């Protein structure tokens, strides 16, 4: 039978290998041309691999989480049109074999003989993905049950001592005591008492000292079983990126409080008159403020190549937007954020968030950011210390908006306040620069009319 080896194609510029994050087929499955066979993940995107031929899968490159090099075999498909394997015909039995079989069947009525194949030691034909690699021995006749040793026969035949039987018969107790013992999993016959019946006090004494006799109260522990989870796919990428960022970048975080009462009032007015445009959240307004403040602080809109020792200050603002998905945290990028108005930003934020949750982000939508914003939305928090998205040098984290009384002159008024966090790479950004940048953001957010001034 002809076999087709599907080699992993070049699925991205500069990519040398990809990780298997999902198999859509197993060994022995029949696949049609253009049907999905696997999801492969690179540093930039997850790509669905499709079968170029029709046939039966006979070999897979590895398990989920394994790395496959570009050009290496991913799947081997048997392309013969025959869908069912040739039937295995057993050779006729010799007279001696037939006689032995008849004797075995007479001695072991109801026992069926099962034929088993010896699987290939390779991860190939005749074996599913999760089956063991060890060879399966041929089925042997089931042995006759051996008689119990004399000691065990005597033990099984030994009657219950009369004293024990009498104790079980004399385990008297009221219905309330019996119900309590049943709930606690206590055998009343094992509870000692000084009277003619078991009382609550006897149960209490048994609970205090009964552990020495092997008693364990039911539901004593509500701990669940440990669950080992293999770190693969998106979660492994997140783990590697976060570890590299914290290992290589000397972080510092600055937090300041911002009064967003006027900004929230303006946002409510804009939403009330938005027509068919998307509903505004705090995020697009925050991005407009960042784009207006960045020109005075170009060291924040930068990427640091620490191997080359070069900091590139970017003229355009390609703003990363941290988004939570079922697979983990991903950071789609809003290109040229400085050229978009608040409604355009809201539309692009919605589109990228939906694509991220569906796993449909294009490779050019997931890299090349120059600064990042991370927000937990209404979940928020008092303050955060976000981790920088390397090789960027700054990440901004707005926190939860809370309503609190504040002094306005001699009066106490109700105000909506929000803490704003920024983490910076101290090799590139000084504390003074970070604090000054946040003060610039504060000016725009506390006087929101400036967001729409040229």
Between CA 344 and CA 353, with CA 347 as vertex, the angle to 5 degrees is 135
Helical ranges in 231-329 per DSSP H: 233-248, 261-272, 282-293
Sheet strand arrangement including 67-69: 46-50, 36-41, 17-23, 67-69
Sheet strand arrangement including 333-334: 251-259, 411-425, 394-408, 371-373, 319-321, 333-334
Sign of the CA dihedral with 120 first, then 125, 126, and 127 last: positive
Cα distances from 261 to residues 23, 338, 354, in angstroms, run 51, 25, 29
Q: For residue 326, give the 3-state DSSP assignment.
A: coil
**CA 100 to chain CA mean position, Å:** 57
Q: Is 24 a catalytic residue?
A: no
**Which residue among the candidates 164, 187, 336, 430 is catalytic per the annotation?**
430
Contact between 188 and 171 under an 8 Å Cβ cutoff? The reply is yes
**Which residue among the candidates 256, 426, 433, 454 is catalytic per the annotation?**
426
Q: Is 430 a catalytic residue?
A: yes
Helix%, strand%, coil% for the chain, nearest 5: 30, 25, 45
Distance CA 48, CA 24 (A): 10
Distance CA 336, CA 328 (A): 25
Which residues participate in catalysis according to the annotation?
426, 430
């Amino acid at each position: 039978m002809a076999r087709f080896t599907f080699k992993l194609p070049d699925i991205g510029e500069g990519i040398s290998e990809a990780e298997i994050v999902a198999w859509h087929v197993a060994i022995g499955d029949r696949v049609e041309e253009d049907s999905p066979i696997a999801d492969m993940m690179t540093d930039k995107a997850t790509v669905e691999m499709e079968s170029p031929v029709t046939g039966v899968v006979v070999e897979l490159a590895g398990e989920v989480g394994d790395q496959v090099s570009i050009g290496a075999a991913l799947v081997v498909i048997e392309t013969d049109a025959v869908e069912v394997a040739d039937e295995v015909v057993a050779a006729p039995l010799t007279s001696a074999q037939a006689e032995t079989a008849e004797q075995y069947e007479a001695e072991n009525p109801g026992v069926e003989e099962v034929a088993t194949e010896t699987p290939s030691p390779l991860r190939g034909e005749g074996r599913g993905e999760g089956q063991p690699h060890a060879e399966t021995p041929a089925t042997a006749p089931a042995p006759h049950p051996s008689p119990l040793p004399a000691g065990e026969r005597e033990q099984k035949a030994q009657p219950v001592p009369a004293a024990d039987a009498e104790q079980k018969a004399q385990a008297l107790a009221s219905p309330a005591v019996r119900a309590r013992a049943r709930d606690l999993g206590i055998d009343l016959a094992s509870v000692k008492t000084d009277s003619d019946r078991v009382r609550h006090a006897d149960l209490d004494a048994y609970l205090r000292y009964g552990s020495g006799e092997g008693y364990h109260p039911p539901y004593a522990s509500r701990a669940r079983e440990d669950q080992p989870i293999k770190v693969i796919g998106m979660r492994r990428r997140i783990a590697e990126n976060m570890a590299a960022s914290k290992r290589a970048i000397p972080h510092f975080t600055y937090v300041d409080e911002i009064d967003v009462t006027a900004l929230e009032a303006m946002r409510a007015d804009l939403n009330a008159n938005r027509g068919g445009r998307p509903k505004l959240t705090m995020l697009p307004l925050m991005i407009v403020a960042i784009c207006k403040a960045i020109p005075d602080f170009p060291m924040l809109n930068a990427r640091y190549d620490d191997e080359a020792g070069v900091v590139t200050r970017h003229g355009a603002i390609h703003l990363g937007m941290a988004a939570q998905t079922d697979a983990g945290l991903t950071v789609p990028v809003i290109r040229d954020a400085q050229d978009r108005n608040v409604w355009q930003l809201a539309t692009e934020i919605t589109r990228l968030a939906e694509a991220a949750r569906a796993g449909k982000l294009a490779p050019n939508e997931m890299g090349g950011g120059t600064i990042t914003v991370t927000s937990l939305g209404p979940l928020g928090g008092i303050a955060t210390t976000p981790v920088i998205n390397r090789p960027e040098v700054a990440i901004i984290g707005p926190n939860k908006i809370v309503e609190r009384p504040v002094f306005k002159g001699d009066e106490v008024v109700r105000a909506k306040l929000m803490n704003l966090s920024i983490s910076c790479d101290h090799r590139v950004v000084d504390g003074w620069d970070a604090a000054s940048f946040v003060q610039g953001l504060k000016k725009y957010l506390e006087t929101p009319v400036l967001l729409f001034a040229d």
